[in-house]
Structure 1
């Protein structure tokens, strides 16, 4: 252990690292229920997505621990799974296999630009204020998806959206879940999102099984299963033909690259800061290895049937209890791999149960709003457009594109065109072409 992870150098020990890894797993475990629920709406096998989620999270976390020695765990990312389902499959019209092929290609591009150091250059080129707005916007979008799936928000002919029927038992269950999860969160309970999900599921099962309420979660007939659904393994290969026939594949790949770019960068900075992994120059130690581990995780995840695998900010929960090395990530990874035998338990996880997790994750992501310079109209306008069009346009990629366009136009209007990074100019022109020819 000492040779692999340099525990003494980082002021930690095996016991602390294992406890930190378990803590991180509990904080991230909600993804085992939420990711199949979201990707299931793209007509993908629920059990197949669960298996891909558990295995990709386990393998990628272990790879991060061994390669970069970071206490950062990975799994299919929130926000990017919504992009996969609601934008790439739902709006762009790609098949699930085609979307997985796009994830695979984006992962390969990640690997290439990481080993050539281009990834760091691009990350540094994007204005920090737009990064914040993108993260916050995805938070609002994810929360809106949760509210919609639970029936708390419904369609309306007169007002487009409206509140749902609060007499509906499943709506009440979702509201209860949001409240209990929020209470746990504000009381700083570790793994608040995960425990909120479990409490909501148990309450739903009780009311469904003993009081006969319809639409409630069902008690599983068994706890353990060894009947694995491998139908999504290799499915990405069947989608490669869409790379050459579907007009929006390039946009889909770019959107996946873009969203994961800044999600990963923000997470690594947040975790590294808490784990004392930043050197005297203010740069992350071994960041290239961490970025490569993240990229390889995406490639592997797409091959076995899930959306982009990325670093999870919930890793900060493990760092908070003392995790400092890759042993923390490896422990989390082992926990994820063990869950593949417990798929039947997910029969307790319905839209009403996962909605609280989506809403609370949305709240946490939206907290980035506080760092946007709202007194600067360039940042305020581009940030606002990014966020509002993600929600109202029901499209993460369109929100990002419009935000970039507003940013560049605002900079030109204020005589600051010379301060726009060359890479931002390239993105601006790509987005203009996207709206002109592809939508």
Structure 2
């Protein structure tokens, strides 16, 4: 008599090796929601930055969401690593303000990003990236991750109004520290510190939710008119490439401005997140880094933005 197996043909626990990674579905759901909450600002910030360069906001929003979803799922399935891919704010700033802001045609600007992506793929597939990781001193690896964290913190403080730009001196100065926006932002900051120090699961998303609830009656945050709407068309951005024009020597500095910072910023993010997750070996290297590097440059062949890890 044959025994019929009652085990499901597919399960998330077996596919992502929950047992081997010392995790469970509840932990993964909380981690996913927390990651979404902490990087949701990107959905508003990136399209807004691209719109400053003349790209329609709705198109930029659709592309930002699509590329984040597609590449993050690909990263999870292909590498089984908890890395979320999203547009790198530094690269978006260069694309929007430096290129489009100086009247570089959209096709050529996108071509520059495309070429940077191709170079990134070659570096990853040829093992150059893995070699660079192994020769960099451990102290430098740690400092790169810290530097990226400080950069993200600076962006958060600027968005909250804690610091503002002084165009007269080209420096950052403190904003109105007595404003409601700044006070609520700092409350959220200290809530995050408190929950994380207490090792409360989902502490970051809990701090975000509490801060949002406090912001609503104060008028800092408003409830949207509708919860759902059709995404904007991406015709204005899809495959708008002029690779031959981007190969002009005139644009070489812009190409380097995309490629070099992106190479080291993604490296720092990988090592920083890998250290927190316990993936690094005794020398501070990330085993299998070439697999995690595969999906970063792929979207640059389709849309004019560069991806970074979160």
**Same-fold status (TM-score > 0.5):** yes
SS in 1 for 2:296: helix
More helix by share: 1
Give CA-to-partner distance per residue, 1:111-169, whole Å, 9 cap, x none.
1111110122345566765994797389559837974996943433xx566869959xx
Equivalent runs, 1:238-387 vs 2, <5 Å: 239-245=242-248, 247=250, 249-279=251-281, 282-296=284-298, 300-301=299-300, 303-305=302-304, 307-312=305-310
Q: Which residue of 1 aligns with 2:130?
A: 120
Q: TM-score if structure 1 supplies the norm length?
A: 0.55
Q: 1:255 to 1:132 in 2, by over 3 A?
A: farther
Is the 1:76–1:308 contact (alpha carbons within 8 Å) kept by the matching residues of 2?
A: yes
Q: TM-score, normalised by structure 2?
A: 0.75
Q: What is the count of residue pairs matched by the alignment?
A: 290
Q: Which moved more, 1:186-195 or 1:39-48?
A: 186-195
Aligned to 1:108: 118
* Mapping of residues 35-434 of structure 1, within 5 Å: 35-90=46-101, 93-124=103-134, 129=140, 132=143, 136=147, 139=150, 143=154, 147=158, 152-156=164-168, 159=169, 172=179, 174-187=181-194, 188=196, 189-191=203-205, 195=209, 198=212, 202=216, 206=219, 220-237=224-241, 239-245=242-248, 247=250, 249-279=251-281, 282-296=284-298, 300-301=299-300, 303-305=302-304, 307-312=305-310
- 1 CA distance for matches of 2:160 and 2:51? 12
Gaps of 5+ in 2: 1-11, 197-202
SS in 2 for 1:310: strand
User: Counterparts of 1:271 and 1:161 in 2: how far apart (Å)?
Assistant: 30
| Structure 1 unaligned spans of 5+ | 208-216, 313-439
Quote the Cα distance in structure 2 between the aligned partners of 1:291 and 1:17. 22
Aligned in 2, Cα 1:124/1:32: closer, same or farther, shift over 3 Å? Answer: same
CA drift of 1:221 comes to 2.8
Give the structure 1 partner of residue 42 of structure 2. 31
With over 3 angstroms needed to count, the CA separation of the structure-2 counterparts of 1:137 and 1:96, relative to structure 1, is farther
Q: Larger deviation: 102-111 or 17-26?
A: 17-26
Mean alpha-carbon deviation: is it higher for 260-269 or for 280-289? 280-289
Paired with 1:281 and 1:137, the residues of 2 have a C-alpha distance of 21
| Contact 1:234–1:304, Cα closer than 8 Å, also in 2 | yes
Partner Cα separation in structure 2 for residue 137 and residue 46 of structure 1: 27
Superposition deviation, residue 260 in structure 1:
1.5
Distance 1:235 1:16 in 2: 39
- The CA deviation at 1:242 is 3.3
Mapped contact 1:27–1:193 kept (Cα < 8 A):
no
Question: Alignment partner of 1:75: what SS?
Answer: strand
